[in-house]
Amino acid sequence: MWRSCLRLRGGGRHLLNCPRGGLTASEGPGPKPPARARAYAPPAERKRFYQNVSITQGEGGFEINLDHRKLRTPQAKLFTVPSEALAVAVATEWDSQQDTIKAYTMHLTTLCNTSLDNPTQRGKDQLIQAAAKFLDTDTVCYRVEEPETLVELQRNEWDPVIGWAERRYGVKIGSSTSIMGPSIPARTREVLVSHLASYNTWALQGIEFVVSQLKSMVLTLGLIDLHLTVEQAVLLSRLEETFQIQKWGNVEWAHDYEVWDLRARTAAGALFVHLCSESSAVKHKLLQGRHGFEPWSGKIPHAAEQLSPCATTIEPAL
């Protein structure tokens, strides 16, 4: 419960400082204070400037072409991905854009940009530690002491997932009602870190992304291992919020948007992990490119509708 309060504190302070309506009884006819600048502005959208999306295989992997221009990362590196399946998925993101390019709807592109540019200059060990640190604050390990209905809800919904993880990896995780959280045994941390080390660097970028969305290593492992669906993982990560919404009511459109956005991000991250871990080629044909590939007519379901902002540059046409 206290974690929900912490999350709401910043937003609550903002709401308390805002006027509830237009002109109030205490406002006089004199000059009004200057309006505050908006803290957030939606990312700018660009008009779609390309007709066709294709993928070709180069020396470093699979490349994305928008008409005859090669996609590049924000740092102007050639946008090259290691697997055919991932290339097809990214191409689908670009092909699904309509009149304008909504970069914030392309999580897979963003994750690829992060992996290629590595703006924080992190290696494999740093990525593993960044994901493993969530063990100390795992959502499903923090429990409330009241009300009894929420205590029972957490026990019924979260205990089976923890039990699965303990059996799956042969470790002890447990839970706690202490504000300090559960005490994770050193062996548990070693086993899970060793498991994460079995993934390549690209997949680890996706794992850390999913963990940061769900705020839970346990739920992320369940999702990546296909023990949980995206919908189940998101619902379990928002158990307390859902309980409060059922008790106090739903904020029109806001809560629904938050859920769908979280599902989209989580789905994209999980898909990214699997596509980066996939060694076999997809069955779809590649779009025709300068290397002579056959036209690609297949579609991979778009993993996310609401996605992170990303900045991507295009190589100028020759």
- Segment 16-25, tens digit of pLDDT: 333 333 333 3
Which residue did the predictor score with more confidence, 61 or 183?
Answer: 61
Is the pLDDT confidence value at 103 over 70?
A: yes
Across the range 300-317, mean pLDDT stands at 38
The neighbour count for residue 36, using CB atoms within 10 Å, is 8
Contacts of 78 (CB under 8 A, 6+ apart): 58, 60, 63, 70, 72, 315
Least confident span in 43-57, 256-270, 304-318: 304-318
Spatial contact of 139 and 212, defined as CB atoms under 8 Å apart = no
- Segment 171-229, tens digit of pLDDT: 999 898 887 777 899 999 999 999 999 999 999 999 999 999 999 999 999 999 999 99
Is the pLDDT confidence value at 29 over 90?
A: no
Cβ-count burial 195-228 (b if 16+ within 10 Å, e if not) = bbeebeebbbbbbbbbbebbbbbbbbbbbbeeeb
Confidence label for 46 from pLDDT (cuts 50, 70 and 90) = confident
- Rounded to two decimals, the pTM is 0.75
* Rg of the chain in Å (alpha carbons): 23
- Top mean pLDDT of 31-45, 223-237, 281-295 is at 223-237
Q: What are the domain boundaries of the chain?
A: 124-277
Alpha-carbon gap, residue 113 to 305, rounded angstroms: 18
Does the domain made of 124-277 have the CATH classification 1.10.3580.10? yes
- pLDDT score at 21: 34
Alpha-carbon gap, residue 285 to 55, rounded angstroms: 10
Is the pLDDT confidence value at 36 over 80?
A: no
